Structure 1
């Protein structure tokens, strides 16, 4: 997504969200199918002597409570954004360093794979890492994403520079 488009989306959601829904909009990302909005919410008030398990459960509970309490407001904004941008809107909340994602889009992607590539997927299925080739491919993509964030970030920056240069060309 081009930086100006990302900034425009973030600006629209920041301006459109009801006051107090989030303490801060943390992230607005988009692709061809989906816009994802993640915001920060206040953590639960806990004493200093609570265990890690209790703290983790309290944060999970706070995210679940936020999801239910704000459903109507979020859905109203989502309907408006879907009409405006032609994409589904997904939501998430960050609380004390924990991110909870609400209903998100799972888009099918078709690809052709040669036998050695199919064998990789079949090995993951046979080993019980995935239930199907489709799930195995998604697992592979998440693994690559986790280990190549810096490289992918540089690639995205380069693509934005190419788009800016194209926009300045003689046909602009």
Structure 2
């Protein structure tokens, strides 16, 4: 985590209502957006072995949380957006379910050579994606799902590099 990420997470820890989530939320920060993902208590389902019933109960609990906390979350988001000049998105984990609420879809420019464009065009032609942009988004999600631990290790290493750089001598 960078100093900015740490200060944003710290501010949110102090500003969020104590009863909003069970425990401290996860705070993700990039150049455009702050995403706050908290955990809420899962519902008690009488037939705990029925996976579809449990998923539906969790979805219902998430929907109830979203509506019941909208005012509180919007107030915090307005303050954070003004303070940190980034949009704020919210997410919730409930049991085995999770959902992100209104979060940004930011355009990203990239240059691809013909073999990479052909991959995207194949996904579009096969109906997997509606456009090259959707196909590229699908590819990024797929890579992210299959390389989570590697990406976590890489982020951790980058954080360590930041720490070492910050502890080095200053040149005045």
So what's the TM-score if we normalise by structure 2? Answer: 0.91
**Runs of 4+ with deviation above 3 angstroms:** 4-7
Deviations 1:95-144 (A, max 9, x none): 11211111011100001111111101001101111110001011111111
RMSD of Structure 2 on Structure 1 (CA) = 1.7
Q: Distance in 1 between matches of 2:101 and 2:153?
A: 29
Q: Which residue of 1 aligns with 2:74?
A: 75
So what's the TM-score if we normalise by structure 1? Answer: 0.91
The DSSP-based 3-state class of the residue aligned with 1:64 is: helix
Q: Which residue of 2 aligns with 1:163?
A: 162
Q: How is 1:4-153 mapped onto 2 (pairs within 5 angstroms)?
A: 4-48=3-47, 51-153=50-152
Any stretches of 5+ residues in structure 1 without a counterpart? none
Deviations 1:130-165 (A, max 9, x none): 110001011111111111122222222222232223
The DSSP-based 3-state class of the residue aligned with 1:24 is: coil
Instruction: Between 10-19 and 31-40, report the one with greater CA deviation.
Output: 10-19
The DSSP-based 3-state class of the residue aligned with 1:107 is: coil
Aligned length: 171
The alpha-carbon deviation at position 50 of structure 1 amounts to: 6.5
Any stretches of 5+ residues in structure 2 without a counterpart? none
Instruction: Between 31-40 and 49-58, report the one with greater CA deviation.
Output: 49-58
Deviations 1:68-92 (A, max 9, x none): 1100100000000001111100001
